[in-house]
Amino acid sequence: MGEVVVVTSGKGGVGKTTTTANLGTALGQLGERVCLLDADIGLRNLDVVMGLENRIVYDLVDVVEGYCKLRQALIRDKRMDNLSLLPAAQTKDKTAVSPEQMRDLTAELREDFDYVIVDSPAGIEQGFKNAIAGADRALIVATPEVSSVRDADRIIGLLEAAEIPPARLVINRLRQGMVKKGDMMSVEDIIDI
């Protein structure tokens, strides 16, 4: 039975989608069976980052609404047989799916994959609640900016309330040269916040 990992943050533009794509690709290269699930309904981008945008026929909402079977919506990456994408719907909004439906969907995916990596939308509203439903663990992506770190701290509290084990923090766009000059927060500064 596979593991569901949600990649999230409170702030947009910190690198959640890129982190999801890179983590999924790396796990695939290690021989793991991986499904990348884009939970950013209405603003999907994981398909573009993965170079699979032209192969979408069905999406996450189509599966939930019963227009297709899960297997029909999965897009297998031709470069790696063990890596698949379940794209988000582009024309719906985040209320098109409920946390219960996401829980059921991830339960079904974990039967066929070693890892299901969920790309969460930014923020803490319905899209976030959908993305964390069914997650076994979380990666929080932040940048070395006070607003990003503060939002990440809020996400940690929400994950704890949802009884998701302690999250791991990915600090993206950290530049050691800027840290040394005092122009950017260090890892220690971020942890202190």
pLDDT in tens, 135-190: 999 999 988 777 777 888 889 889 999 999 877 888 876 656 655 665 556 656 66
Which pLDDT does position 123 carry in this prediction?
Answer: 84
Which pLDDT does position 139 carry in this prediction?
Answer: 95
Which pLDDT does position 175 carry in this prediction?
Answer: 58
In the CATH scheme, what is the code of domain 3-137?
3.40.50.300
Which pLDDT does position 180 carry in this prediction?
Answer: 62
pLDDT in tens, 94-143: 788 999 999 999 999 999 999 999 999 988 889 999 999 999 999 999 88
* Phi, psi dihedral angles at 8 (to 5 degrees): -140, 175
pLDDT at 191 over 90: no
User: Rounded to an integer, what distance in angstroms lies between the CA atom of residue 119 and that of residue 174?
Assistant: 21
Could you tell me which residue, 20 or 178, shows the higher pLDDT?
20
Give me the amino acid identity at 67.
Y
Tell me the domain boundaries of the chain. 3-137
DSSP 99-168: HHHHHHHHHHHHTT-SEEEEEPPSSSSHHHHHHHTT-SEEEEEE-SSHHHHHHHHHHHHHHHHTTPPPPE
Maximal C-alpha separation, the chain:
56
Which pLDDT does position 23 carry in this prediction?
Answer: 96
Residue written as tokens 């890129």? 18
Which pLDDT does position 112 carry in this prediction?
Answer: 96
pLDDT-derived band at 21, boundaries 50, 70, 90: very high
